[in-house]
Structure 1
């Protein structure tokens, strides 16, 4: 006889999905007037933090599949929020860089994004917030450590 599954109230995958929705709701609200998606925001955030990078690295850091990044980067380029250039040595390799307009979207929402994070820290407590990030990193197969 197989062991019964845990209650859905104690299921890690379901709990993570529910928590993701709770975390993303205020972020979606913040982005609602920008005309950019959550995934586009992640791409801009990564570029704002790390600077120009090749598309493969950007996809990894933004937690996107490479084909999705290709589409998202093209959309952001068409909106004037990023530039894309080909590597001189390897024409298959593409670099993506945030533009001033893309950086302005990040800068204009930095305060609100910080308030959202502060709200999560208030809810969890600063120590539990950091512990949660550490625990989630342990479940990330791409995390280094």
Structure 2
């Protein structure tokens, strides 16, 4: 019979209940649960929803900018855009000045998905604001943006 190792107390690490990565993961899963239900009804993925949201908000854009704003890695975006283009949700065109660059735009069918689920998405967002309160919601978003910015700055400095 194999012995089960005894848990080690490690004073260098916070308990998982106080761990930022674990807390962020738990929060993301809780936040995404109602959104996933909505997206399942829409027949699209979380990543496709983010792409459609960004394009709906900002219009046609270059793939690198879209990847950044939709919080996707460029190789993932390429695969996602390909399937979305095949489904008629986005269109793709080469940059007339630089054929290596591509611009992605939302189509009428893609915008219809946003429009059809706008009320439900808005209700979900309002629910999160209600849970936290306006001030704490805004503070949380600001702190998360600050953390992301600082960590990305450090990645570029390294």
Q: In structure 1, what is the equivalent of residue 25 of structure 2?
A: 17
Q: In structure 1, what is the equivalent of residue 108 of structure 2?
A: 100
2:142 to 111, 131, 134: 134
User: In the TM superposition, what is the alpha-carbon distance from 1:76 to its structure 2 partner?
Assistant: 0.6
User: In the TM superposition, what is the alpha-carbon distance from 1:3 to its structure 2 partner?
Assistant: 4.0
Q: In structure 2, what is the equivalent of residue 33 of structure 1?
A: 41
Q: How many aligned positions are there? A: 142
1:63 equivalent in alignment to 2:71: yes
d(CA) in 2 for partners of 1:87, 1:4:
51
Q: What are the ranges of 5 or more consecutive residues in structure 1 without an aligned counterpart?
A: none
Q: In structure 1, what is the equivalent of residue 123 of structure 2?
A: 115
Larger radius of gyration: 2
SS in 2 for 1:113: helix
Runs of 4+ in 1 over 4 A off after TM superposition: none
Q: What are the ranges of 5 or more consecutive residues in structure 2 without an aligned counterpart?
A: 1-9, 154-158
Deviations 1:54-85 (A, max 9, x none): 00100000010000000000111000000000
1:80 equivalent in alignment to 2:88: yes
User: In the TM superposition, what is the alpha-carbon distance from 1:88 to its structure 2 partner?
Assistant: 1.3
d(CA) in 2 for partners of 1:128, 1:89:
46
TM norm structure 2? 0.87
d(CA) in 2 for partners of 1:34, 1:106:
9
d(CA) in 2 for partners of 1:88, 1:7:
54
1:47 to 31, 49, 55: 55
d(CA) in 2 for partners of 1:54, 1:19:
31
d(CA) in 1 for partners of 2:144, 2:42:
29
d(CA) in 2 for partners of 1:4, 1:54:
44
